[in-house]
Chain A
Amino acid sequence: MAEIKKKHPPAGQFITTQFNSLLGWARKYSLFHYPFVTACCGMEYMSAACAHFDIDRFGAGWTRFSPRQSDMLLVVGTVTQKLAPALRTVYDQMTEPKWVIAFGTCTVSGGIYDNYAVVQGIDQIIPVDIYIPGCPPRPEMVLDGLLKLQDKIQHQEQDWRWKKKIP
């Protein structure tokens, strides 16, 4: 009887899971974000990122100012036609897996700027995962959007290197 107990670890010291959800769990709490800040929504982004609302509580506090080191692109503020190629380049330089949050009405739909200069929603340029409307959105909405993105990451089919088909 004593021998059997030695072979099995006591209850509560291990859990079973699937590799997919383990990877999702790891990824959703270690989002390195790249702030693509162009306009007034940047103030709300700063508010959400700093101590009062503290985006770091949700594991997304590490701001990287290089798209190559980040996996969450925060597009904050109006994107003009002139800027569109730059945003596309930033997105292309991010490594997989990557997610995009459209922060504020301008990035969602162009907002009040229905004119010759402004892109009518950044999803015309790059794929978007989460839309946060508001002009500007309050930090609570930003955090809610982040939680929704985490939920999406947890439940999506995880992509990892050795699973990919080699052409």
Chain B
Amino acid sequence: MEEENTLAVLGRRFPGRVREVLVSPGDEVAEINRQDLLEVVDFLKSAPQDFSMLLDLTCVDYAPGKPRFEMVYHFFSLSRLRRLRLKVRLDEAETRVASLTSLWKNADWLEREVFDLFGVVFDGHPYLRRLFMYDGFEGHPLRKDYPLRRRQPRIRMRD
């Protein structure tokens, strides 16, 4: 029997709250609201969906589009060998989203990376601190409004 696609299951479980973006075998993409994130991923992680693996978590800056930011989560089910991509749009006025560290341990550093480079704040993260850039670095370098040639050297440069 053909396995039912995850988007259909999600649509039934969360009626009206899941927007389908794209469906193709093994490559399903859904968009949800910010406040629904923890509820949806909790459902996805538990059986029978069993998306036990968080492959990646990243952010996109669509400036000057509105809403400006988009969080992208990649999940993988080891038992069903399925992928799912989840998207959450974030408005510039409130770049906050729930942290997934309570469900996936590897979300820790991934979220710190996104916080470092995009300035998205993760509510519930145990230790939200810069991951790549050094102490004293100002701004978030992967934001579209970070000046291209702006340098912030740690030591004095030679002439």
Contact with B along A111-143 (1 / 0, CB 8 A): 000111101100111110000000000000000
Contact with B along A96-124 (1 / 0, CB 8 A): 00000000000000000011110110011
The answer to whether B157 touches A125 (Cβ under 8 A) is: yes
The answer to whether B157 touches A81 (Cβ under 8 A) is: no
Chain B: CB-nearest residue to A89 = B155
Chain A: CB-nearest residue to B141 = A116
Q: Please, which residues of chain A bring their CB within 8 A of the CB of B105?
A: none
Residue A7 at the chain B interface, CB threshold 8 Å:
no
Of A82, A116, A126, the most chain B CB neighbours within 10 A belong to A116
Residue A68 at the chain B interface, CB threshold 8 Å:
no
Q: Please, which residues of chain A bring their CB within 8 A of the CB of B15?
A: none
Alpha-carbon gap, A92 to B27, bound state (A): 54
Chain B: CB-nearest residue to A123 = B158
Q: Please, which residues of chain B bring their CB within 8 A of the CB of A116?
A: 141, 146, 150-152
The answer to whether A81 touches B134 (Cβ under 8 A) is: yes
Known: A116-B141, A116-B146, A117-B141. A81 touches B152 (CB 8 A): yes
Residue B153 at the chain A interface, CB threshold 8 Å:
yes
A-side interface residues, number (CB < 8 Å) = 16
Query: Which residues of B, 103-159, contact A by the 8 Å Cβ criterion?
Result: 132-134, 141, 146, 148-155, 157-158
Alpha-carbon gap, A85 to B136, bound state (A): 14
Alpha-carbon gap, A120 to B150, bound state (A): 12
Alpha-carbon gap, A1 to B155, bound state (A): 72
Alpha-carbon gap, A125 to B155, bound state (A): 8
Q: Please, which residues of chain B bring their CB within 8 A of the CB of A114?
A: 149
Given contacts A81-B153, A124-B153, 13 further A-B contacts (CB under 8 A): A81-B151, A84-B155, A85-B154, A85-B155, A88-B155, A115-B141, A116-B150, A116-B151, A116-B152, A117-B141, A123-B158, A125-B155, A126-B158
28 residue pairs A–B, Cβ–Cβ below 8 Å = A81-B152, A81-B153, A81-B154, A82-B132, A82-B154, A84-B153, A84-B154, A84-B155, A85-B155, A88-B155, A114-B149, A115-B141, A115-B148, A116-B141, A116-B150, A116-B151, A116-B152, A117-B132, A117-B133, A117-B141, A119-B153, A120-B151, A123-B158, A124-B153, A124-B157, A124-B158, A125-B157, A125-B158
What are the 9 A-B residue pairs with the smallest beta carbon separation, nearest first? A116-B141, A124-B157, A82-B134, A85-B155, A85-B154, A84-B155, A81-B153, A124-B158, A88-B155
